[in-house]
Structure 1
Amino acid sequence: MAKRTAARRAKSSDGVNPRQPCPCGSGKRYKACHGAAGGAADVIVTRPFEGLAAECELVALREFVPSATAPLPLAKPGDRQVTLATVLPMAAAGLVRADGTALVGLQVQTKSGDISRDAARAVNWALTAEPGDALPVVGPAGPEDQVRLQDLLDPHASLDVTLHEDFSWWLPGDVEPTGEVAMSLERANAAIMPTQRLEAEGVVAAYWVDTRDKAHLRWVRPEPEEKLLAAMARLAARGELALGEDSRYVGSFRAHGLLVPVWDLDRERHHREWAEPAAALGRRIDEAVASLDDEALTEAERRAREGLRGRQITVR
């Protein structure tokens, strides 16, 4: 009995009870996740950027923003600034230019189930790599290598995102691309769908995207999925889920633990014309979320919720 009691009270070397849920958010016990030999290299972390104020922007940059950069708000700034990029030449995980400029790619091949950990390893590499070095891919992590973005970034800082029309920023100054870099640049530019970030008070991680057939608003939302669905259902039952005329809600997809609602928009209207309607919709969503604490969904709202749930897909 004494041995069993001691085992129940035992904690790992980093102070986590092995029987408790792993702090990484995988849903597994710590002893079967990051407390296991190998450091949970194969465990899928469904919400890798949780806990960061920049979570929604990170999801957008990882999944659907084509060409963008953002300086990383490191918790302990050093002599070298690291810039996050959606895509780097040859889909590299990181590179340091000859002038010492360091970049880390987010849309890269991953070797584990934790994108945050892979990105953090690329950031640490970029902080110490020599000018001219490149990191093609982040390899598997060992049990001692468990640093994540949450350990490196200021958790309260947002991202200052700059969108680019193409990938010409890959090369500094007047450098002309050659060889594989030129081919990679040409392919990347050909695949770009025009994308703009909506700028309005209270609007975060909302992107206008021109697919050439139609325009969309893709908006990464921070709320838990069920709460957001209930709030949207309340608006849908009132006919208030659109952004006004020439728009309609078409569905949502899940990406890295968050829900991304999507609206069809009139392609003839300038993207700036949708900023204020998005802000107004955001306020309606916030009010509907707050109302859920006091008012249960009506029968009509529950039917609307089931309709919304039927138009969901999971991307990541």
Structure 2
Amino acid sequence: MSRRTAVKNTRKVKAEDSSGINPRQPCPCGSGKRYKACHGLAGGVVDVPVARPFEGLAGETELIALREFVPSGTAKLTLKDGGREVTLATVLPMAAAALVRADDVAFVGLQVQTRSNDISRDLARALRWVLDAKPGDVLPVVGPETEAVEDRERLQDLIDPEAAFEPEVHSDFTWWMPEGTEPTSEVALSLERANSAILPTERIGPSAYWVDAGEKAHLRWVRPEPEEQLLAAMARLAARGELTLGEGSRYAGSFRAHGLLVPVWDLDRELHAREWVTGAEELGKRLDTALASLDAEPLTVPERRSRDGLLGRQITIR
């Protein structure tokens, strides 16, 4: 026996732990980490990434859009216990987590730095803060967690999960300030920078947003269906040449955000956003029909090839 072989044969294989899970295998929690670096750690894991932080909320798809790509948008929150009216906003001055304007209007920011692996929990903590805040108060960031019960609350615990969620898209950030008031120099600078970076955006359907990115316009559509089913339905349409909003549109690909798939189409930017509303509605109907047909009609060979092509044009951002 050679020396190399002898050394190789004397190496011991690390045994599975008491849970019966191989430490080198992906953790069953879905975090994407190996078990030994996640729940296999001594004492377990306190903060496991949440794949779908807005799951269970009627506004899940809209929340993802507001969090990821709508530049300036707001939506009223319906609290379970009533009380103060709170508005969820994409971005607040200086990227604050929450604030109460001088006119006592309360906001919670969505596009903020997270302090945990659960955006829903961070939002709940900001919402809890703003309920007791006074006019002029600002929460720059969500602070470190404590052992308090409210620190384990999630957005789903504080708002009505079935309440209608209707975002309003704005062309700029003038809604930051109460009407008729002048911003301070610091807020004015933040306002100017935010307005200069904004991309023209319009909501042309539920969770469907037209965005003018400069050289091209796009439709970004957050879909609620499980990814596998949605891809199969899209493949069925693609095989028929029906995965389109009409002339001047082309399916570009998709990205995953917070557990859901967001298909993207390139659009002719010479056409106004409103001119794509009908095309989006008709595409939505075709998708619904294709989704309903999947149980009775398995994908054909051409449709499976189309699905493989769609899979090759995916990325994950969250």
Give the TM-score category using the shorter length.
Answer: 0.7 to 0.9
State whether structure 2 residue 124 is matched by structure 1 residue 114.
Answer: no
Structure 2 unaligned runs (5+)?
Answer: 1-18, 20-27
State whether structure 2 residue 90 is matched by structure 1 residue 90.
Answer: no
Task: Label 1:142 to 1:293 Cα distance change in 2 as closer, same or farther (>3 A).
Answer: farther
Rounded Cα–Cα distance in structure 1 between residues aligned with 2:80 and 2:278? 33
Aligned position for 1:53: 58
Task: Label 1:161 to 1:50 Cα distance change in 2 as closer, same or farther (>3 A).
Answer: same
Aligned position for 1:315: 317
Instruction: Tell me the CA shift for residue 151 of structure 1.
Output: 0.8
Code of the aligned partner of 1:122: A
Aligned position for 2:12: none
State whether structure 2 residue 141 is matched by structure 1 residue 137.
Answer: yes
Rounded Cα–Cα distance in structure 2 between residues aligned with 1:186 and 1:38? 46
Bigger Cα Rg: 2
Cα contact 2:207–2:222 (8 A) shared by 1 = yes
Instruction: Tell me the CA shift for residue 179 of structure 1.
Output: 2.4
Cα contact 1:38–1:142 (8 A) shared by 2 = no
Instruction: Tell me the CA shift for residue 53 of structure 1.
Output: 0.8
Superposition pairs for residues 230-241 of structure 1, below 5 Å? 230-241=232-243
2:227 to 212, 225, 228: 225
Give secondary structure in 2 for the equivalent of 1:277: helix
Instruction: Tell me the CA shift for residue 38 of structure 1.
Output: 10
Instruction: Tell me the CA shift for residue 26 of structure 1.
Output: 6.1
Superposition pairs for residues 257-296 of structure 1, below 5 Å? 257-296=259-298
Structure 1 unaligned runs (5+)?
Answer: 1-7, 9-20
Instruction: Tell me the CA shift for residue 65 of structure 1.
Output: 0.2
Aligned position for 1:243: 245
Rounded Cα–Cα distance in structure 1 between residues aligned with 2:191 and 2:288? 41
Rounded Cα–Cα distance in structure 2 between residues aligned with 1:93 and 1:26? 26
Superposition pairs for residues 29-40 of structure 1, below 5 Å? 40=46
1:176 to 175, 179, 182: 182
Instruction: Tell me the CA shift for residue 236 of structure 1.
Output: 0.3
Q: TM-score, normalised by structure 1?
A: 0.85
Rounded Cα–Cα distance in structure 1 between residues aligned with 2:44 and 2:183? 41
Rounded Cα–Cα distance in structure 2 between residues aligned with 1:169 and 1:306? 45
**What is the percent sequence identity of the aligned residues?**
69
Aligned-pair RMSD on alpha carbons?
Answer: 2.1
Task: Label 1:45 to 1:64 Cα distance change in 2 as closer, same or farther (>3 A).
Answer: same
Give secondary structure in 1 for the equivalent of 2:298: coil
State whether structure 2 residue 108 is matched by structure 1 residue 104.
Answer: yes
Code of the aligned partner of 1:228: L
Cα contact 2:256–2:262 (8 A) shared by 1 = yes
Cα contact 2:103–2:178 (8 A) shared by 1 = no
Aligned position for 2:7: none
Instruction: Tell me the CA shift for residue 212 of structure 1.
Output: 1.6
Cα contact 2:98–2:139 (8 A) shared by 1 = yes
Deviations 1:240-263 (A, max 9, x none): 001111101000011101100000
Rounded Cα–Cα distance in structure 2 between residues aligned with 1:163 and 1:226? 30
Question: Greater shift after overlay, 84-93 or 97-106?
Answer: 97-106
Instruction: Tell me the CA shift for residue 99 of structure 1.
Output: 2.2
Task: Label 1:38 to 1:178 Cα distance change in 2 as closer, same or farther (>3 A).
Answer: farther
> How many residues end up aligned between the 2 structures?
285
Aligned position for 2:160: 154
State whether structure 2 residue 218 is matched by structure 1 residue 254.
Answer: no
State whether structure 2 residue 189 is matched by structure 1 residue 187.
Answer: no
Rounded Cα–Cα distance in structure 2 between residues aligned with 1:239 and 1:183? 48
1:66 to 63, 71, 74: 71
Aligned position for 2:23: none
Give secondary structure in 1 for the equivalent of 2:144: coil
Aligned position for 1:12: none
Cα contact 1:39–1:142 (8 A) shared by 2 = no
Rounded Cα–Cα distance in structure 2 between residues aligned with 1:27 and 1:54? 26
Code of the aligned partner of 1:92: A
Instruction: Tell me the CA shift for residue 214 of structure 1.
Output: 1.2
Rounded Cα–Cα distance in structure 1 between residues aligned with 2:73 and 2:51? 24
Code of the aligned partner of 1:170: W
Code of the aligned partner of 1:111: R
